[in-house]
Structure 1
Amino acid sequence: MPSQNSCDQLDAGWFITFRRQLMRWYRKHQRPLPWRQTDDAYRIWISETMLQQTQVATVLDYYSRFLQRFPTVLALAAADTQEVLQLWAGLGYYRRARNLHQAAQQVVEHHGGSLPSNVDALQSLAGIGRYTAGAIASFAFDRRAPILEANTQRLFSRLLAIQIPLQLSQTQRRLWQFAEDILPSRSGSGQINQAVMELGSLVCTPQTPSCSSCPLADLCAAYRLGLQLKIPVPKPKPSFQSVVHV
């Protein structure tokens, strides 16, 4: 089996250097997106839901209009489902809007109208999975909650030179563990999570990663091995056995 450069082999100094270099880059290059200018859990939840399967440029206008009409969890919970869907029109994946509406009603009924800060409690709400729960908990409440999505999976798999498909359960376990290991023990988890997503989106891109401008190039095992264009390893295509009926 190819070397996996386990994160267990990385010492405390590696993670300190990782956070320092990452945050130095992020402070200089982060995009001024509106959901980054707030620690309001509701607004962060809306943005994270809209950003699922949708480009940032598309989300910007929808995010603003949605919050103008439904500025609070209470306003969203009290709305008619059709009104929510009409405001969502054009974003696609309408189940997201239905889940938002249902979850808002759950928040009002079970959490007094305020989104909980606990990851498990967040995941009990309609449409909120592990990633979204971690994003809300870390961005809004600075909880030490890891996140893993397309950009961070790609970044982490290259940093660790993971040469097996991301879809494997063992790979997912390692990536989630690494996502937790990079977080500081006290405050600042939300900023680290924002920064790794931004780096994955802007620099550690799928086809043409900009390794020469990456603040983590000296820490990246894939770059050191010249494997950055081969990682992440794609999911193997299913093989079909030819059957001839006689």
Structure 2
Amino acid sequence: MSDQSQAAERPGSVPGDPSAVQRALIEWYEADHRSFPWRETEDPYEILVSEVMSQQTQLDRVVDAWTDFLDRWPTVADLAAADRADVVGFWTSHSLGYNNRAKYLHEAARQVTEGELGPTDRSHGGGDAGGQWPRDPDGLSDLMGVGPYTANAVASFAFNNGNAVVDTNVKRVLYRAFDVPDEDDAFEAVASALMPDGESRVWNNAIMELGGVACGKTPDCDGAACPWREWCSAYETGDFTAPDVPTQPEFEGSRRQMRGRAISTLKEYDRLELDELGPRIRVDYAPDGEYGRDWLRGLLSDLDDDGLVELTERDGETVARLRR
């Protein structure tokens, strides 16, 4: 089947030749991304620990727990030899969620070290001390407590041998960027078509980073320099609804709109007192009304906190100006 025929059957609006889309995302990710220690390793044990810890815990909180865990049990063999009560106690003391995850992780370590799995790999994780690891998602799914998503993550990040990841963040990105229907089969098809062959490690990291940094529930397209703005339907239309963002916040009359008007007005007038600035932001501004001085002070205080506006007092009046 030709590339054009494949593109015609593909859900959404992904370009027939996705190479430019692929290149833009990978270059964006490799130029600058959040630094997490498990992104600096290809050890399947270390990556599995990070994936299990991250299931319902913010990544910034996982870093310290992950480091402490590996300090205590540096290899999969060390974890397998540990007392399960100690592993569960660690999990509880670090507030990592359901204790069953600790039990399953401990059991998975025992499976690896005791060779209870199918075709395995000894080239990662410290030779014999690292145990024998399956290299693909199907094999990794045989580990206790390891579901399809975690198995694919370990296969991708440890062995560069995974499938295209499809999590909530990726669905949000594909829905917004390429009008992919909110259907699991459609997301799977588009995610697979977009991932370059043999690049699951960098690609899955990059597209999840895009969903976490630029295309969150509240998008930051320009601030995060989203590499897909050129192709993105949501960026073109301003409609950033998504499967996990069902209602597009109203922009007209929103605080976001009022902040923008305040900045634009102060660019034009340099500095203004509240009663001079207010009517230029809202036609219904009234000094003592609902949208009056107190409301405006709150708006400007937010801008002051963001380092955008400077507030001073002059002859008993509050004066606003842009920070230089």
TM-score higher than 0.5: yes
Structure 1 residues 149 and 54: alpha-carbon distance in aligned structure 2, compared to 1, 3 A threshold: same
Q: Which runs of 5+ in 1 are unaligned?
A: 165-170, 237-246
- SS across alignment from 1:52: coil
Q: Deviations over 1:56-79 (max 9, x none)?
A: 111011000101111111111111
Match of 2:135 in 1: 117
Counterpart code for 2:203? I
1:79 and 2:77 correspond:
no
TM-score of the superposed pair, with normalisation by structure 1: 0.83
Match of 1:97 in 2: 102
Counterpart code for 1:216? W
Counterpart code for 1:119? P
Which structure is larger by alpha-carbon Rg, 1 or 2?
Answer: 2
Q: Please report how far the alpha carbon of residue 232 of structure 1 lies from its aligned counterpart in structure 2 after TM superposition.
A: 2.4
CA distance in 1 between counterparts of 2:23 and 2:108 reads 37
Q: Please report how far the alpha carbon of residue 24 of structure 1 lies from its aligned counterpart in structure 2 after TM superposition.
A: 1.5
1:173 and 2:185 correspond:
yes
Contact 2:14/2:178, CA 8 A, preserved across alignment: no
CA distance in 1 between counterparts of 2:228 and 2:89 reads 43
Match of 1:211 in 2: 221
Contact 1:144/1:189, CA 8 A, preserved across alignment: yes
Match of 1:46 in 2: 49
Contact 2:12/2:179, CA 8 A, preserved across alignment: no
Structure 1 residues 10 and 154: alpha-carbon distance in aligned structure 2, compared to 1, 3 A threshold: closer
Match of 1:151 in 2: 169
TM-score of the superposed pair, with normalisation by structure 2: 0.64
From the two aligned structures, give the one with the greater strand fraction. Answer: 2
Structure 1 residues 189 and 81: alpha-carbon distance in aligned structure 2, compared to 1, 3 A threshold: same
1:134 and 2:152 correspond:
yes
Q: Which of 28, 31, 36 is equivalent to 2:31? A: 28
From the two aligned structures, give the one with the greater helix fraction. Answer: 1
- SS across alignment from 2:239: coil
Which structure has more relative contact order (CA 8 Å, sep 6+)? It is: 1
Q: Please report how far the alpha carbon of residue 234 of structure 1 lies from its aligned counterpart in structure 2 after TM superposition.
A: 5.7
CA distance in 2 between counterparts of 1:174 and 1:126 reads 29
Contact 2:12/2:180, CA 8 A, preserved across alignment: no
Identical-residue share of aligned pairs (%): 38
CA distance in 2 between counterparts of 1:8 and 1:91 reads 38
CA distance in 2 between counterparts of 1:48 and 1:224 reads 35
Structure 1 residues 7 and 18: alpha-carbon distance in aligned structure 2, compared to 1, 3 A threshold: farther
Match of 1:241 in 2: none
Counterpart code for 1:22? L
Contact 2:21/2:228, CA 8 A, preserved across alignment: yes
Structure 1 runs, 4 residues or longer, greater than 4 Å off = 233-236
Q: Which runs of 5+ in 2 are unaligned?
A: 1-8, 121-130, 248-324
| Greater Cα shift, 131-140 or 147-156 | 147-156
Contact 2:43/2:158, CA 8 A, preserved across alignment: yes
Counterpart code for 1:182? L
Match of 2:269 in 1: none
- SS across alignment from 1:217: coil
Contact 1:6/1:160, CA 8 A, preserved across alignment: no
1:161 and 2:165 correspond:
no
